Amino acid sequence: MATRSASSKNSTYILSLPLFFLLLFFPSLSLSISSNVTYDGRSLFISGRRRIIISASIHYPRSVPAMWPGLVEAAKEGGVDAIETYVFWNGHEPSPGNYYFEDRFDLVKFAKIVRDAGLYMILRIGPFVAAEWNYGGVPVWLHYVPGTTFRTNDEPFKKHMERFTKYIVDMMKHERLFASQGGHIILAQIENEYGDIEKVYGDGGKPYAMWAASMALSQDIGVPWIMCQQYDAPDNVINTCNSFYCDQFTPNSPNKPKIWTENWPGWFQTFGATNPHRPPEDIAFSVARFFQKGGTVQNYYMYHGGTNFGRTAGGPFITTSYDYDAPIDEYGLVRQPKWGHLKELHNAIKQCENILLFGNSALINFGPLQEANIYTDHSGGCSAFLSNMDEEKDKLIVFQNKSYSLPPWSVSILPDCKNVAFNTAKVKTQTSVIEMIDEKLQSSEGWSIFKEKVGIWGNPDFVKNELVDHINTTKDSTDYLWYTTSFDIKGGEKISKQSLLMVESKGHAAHVFVNGKLQASGYGNGTEIKFNLTTPVTLKPGRNDLALLSMTVGLPNAGPFYEWVGAGPTSVKISGLTSRTLDLSSHSWAYKIGLEGEHLSLFSPYGNGDLNWKMYSQPPIKQPLMWYKIIVDTPKGDDPIGLDMQHMGKGLAWLNGYPVGRYWPRKSSPNDKCTTTCNYRGKFFPDKCRTGCGQPTQRWYHVPRSWFQPTGKNTLVIFEETGGDPTKIIFARRQTKNF
């Protein structure tokens, strides 16, 4: 067992001496569940035994430590063998050399919970992860190291990437968590989605990919390294597949097993869009086909999606919820029938495991879209997978003198080549419906209010005769950047009633204030972050003040040179003056990074901000730039809790100083394509099954139970940008009803 030093900054890892000597002289006392991991073209060998592995992605920072044991146990009960997680570099190294592994980022604690549950672990170190996570997991500060371009052969990037990777490897080794040390980590991934590197970076990507593989292999961890979507990975690195379907995936070498790193049981959400779903029948079909065609390791991405707490969501415009329509929902409750249907699938596959791994295979075609893969061993054992890939029609086939009816788009699993243990299209598991039970905020105290100033608070951070890039200015220290200027309208100049303010922006969002009043807001969306805002404005003779509150809504997490994608206004003009269109783009602009309330740490229950709050029995409503604070009781019972924000505009929320995240009940278009039922048959894609047209993409925001005080009062803080009614905020208890 390893212990950490008290200093999270230095994070030095040492073996505790008593347990070290016990392991040295009595190695059988180790909680080992494996000893070494090798592979050939058929499968992994774990402790000398061939294994089929069904894995589940659970990202430790997207839940909280109090939830981890329950999530892992629910995955295990669902028939899972391993837990997979990324390692989130920007969460662990917020500034160069300053490491953090506490609370939601306690990677070692999470790993040991997985180990103690008797499950394997797949560690995807990255350090680029994509994952709809801010900047794809790469620290923002690295972009500002001279000579750095992410995911290329640039020396500064490679230097920092190697240092962090080694840090994680050394941490896991000191904790004796790799299988070669008697631990449970059976695979480690370096980087992510290499296929995209070569497409995007061309000649600059391939050398980096090969360097990363070489660097990883130099780490003495004793388990195989994998590379996601690197189709020409080095001989001693296993390339893997990411997709909705990987049954036809073939490794680049016949000596490597088929590994599916990401089978997507749903999809992520973006603010202002409808909600995607993937039917359990289709997920089961894809998994069954993968193992039917010789697959060996299959991982659900995600099995529990969780929550993008605080400002961790990427995108831009990825929602705070990362539910992913996963078998375990965002709040930690199993989603039926998906969880149960997959559990039955896993059980059927495991009944075939020995024959699949040691038997001989044969293929029989019954038609253009019907086939069987049969596995037999020397002792007479037999298992079969019967597939019907027709999207419309049932098919009756005769297999070994017996008739089998196959529904459209389905696989039947016959562990004994006679009896159907499972058919992917036949859902027998109970269905559950989620209910959010309202519980009003209970408080014996009134509201505290802080009014955020429009524009510059204190002194400007700097002044320039240009519009600066938002991200390069804030370096993601905050979502907010004020752009302020003033202009004069001469006495003889007429002002049209149709005066228009025109703002062009690279994204992501902006609020426009003229002479202290909110005039309009503009937003990009999940497919086009740029936007143009044209709004009527009321001007006056003499001096007019213009303030733009520019906002980011999560930084890009993937794509071509994504760290160079900017944000913020690029052009500001006013029309409707009698003799001119006023171009303010090159005016003198004063800038302020962040909000005064952020500077005062109003979100912290331990800060010095109490002197800045004013008490109200009833808070002002529908006013922009308002901070609200209320002391609330802990909701009754032990159900998971969501914060209902449907009557608010846009902003941030905290409970007892913990960052709930961005809220924005932005509605999708009522004209979007939604379905009341979802046809599981045929190839799946994210827009196939959508719900919630004309509704807020996200109404409820997960507040973990462990964040509440068990017996006392809780401090809820809200920053509202555009105006809402905080008296209508309610807690809701999340419950499931089975039928």
Q: Name the residues annotated as catalytic.
A: 193, 262
| Residue 270, both tokens | 């973006």
Tell me how far apart the alpha carbons of residues 177 and 2 are, in angstroms, rounded to a whole number.
10
Residue whose token pair is 């529904």: 407
Nearest to 208 by CA among 221, 222, 220, 198: 198
Strand partners, 527: none
Nearest to 184 by CA among 69, 83, 53, 33: 33
Tell me how far apart the alpha carbons of residues 66 and 553 are, in angstroms, rounded to a whole number.
28
Residue type, position 54, single letter: I
Whether the CB-CB separation of 267 and 38 falls below 8 Å is answered with no
Tell me how far apart the alpha carbons of residues 4 and 26 are, in angstroms, rounded to a whole number.
23
Phi, psi (deg, nearest 5) at residue 12:
-85, 135
Whether the CB-CB separation of 480 and 551 falls below 8 Å is answered with yes
| Residue 626, both tokens | 């308002």
Dihedral sign of CA atoms 314, 319, 320, 324 in order = negative
Residue 151 CB-half CA count within 13 A = 32
Tell me how far apart the alpha carbons of residues 72 and 120 are, in angstroms, rounded to a whole number.
11
* CB-count burial class (<10 Å; 0-12, 13-18, 19+) for 680: buried
Helix axes 107-116, 155-174, angle to 10 degrees: 40
Could you tell me the CA-to-CA distances from 461 to 211, 545, 738 in Å, in that order?
41, 18, 56
Dihedral sign of CA atoms 39, 45, 48, 49 in order = negative
**Other Cβ atoms closer than 10 A to 733:** 18
Dihedral sign of CA atoms 559, 563, 567, 570 in order = negative
Could you tell me the CA-to-CA distances from 520 to 496, 523, 538, 571 in Å, in that order?
18, 10, 12, 16
Tell me how far apart the alpha carbons of residues 623 and 665 are, in angstroms, rounded to a whole number.
17
Residue whose token pair is 């989620």: 434
Q: In this structure, are strands 53-58 and 295-304 parallel, antiparallel, or unpaired?
A: parallel
- Give the DSSP letter string of 514-550: ETTEEEEEEE--SS---EEEEEE----SEEEEEEEEE
| Residue 357, both tokens | 């791994």
Helix (H) or strand (E) holding 630, with range, is strand 626-633
Tell me how far apart the alpha carbons of residues 75 and 718 are, in angstroms, rounded to a whole number.
34
Residue whose token pair is 């204190």: 458
Tell me how far apart the alpha carbons of residues 637 and 735 are, in angstroms, rounded to a whole number.
11
What letter would DSSP give residue 200? H
Whether the CB-CB separation of 349 and 385 falls below 8 Å is answered with no
Nearest to 546 by CA among 507, 519, 586: 519
Tell me how far apart the alpha carbons of residues 71 and 51 are, in angstroms, rounded to a whole number.
23
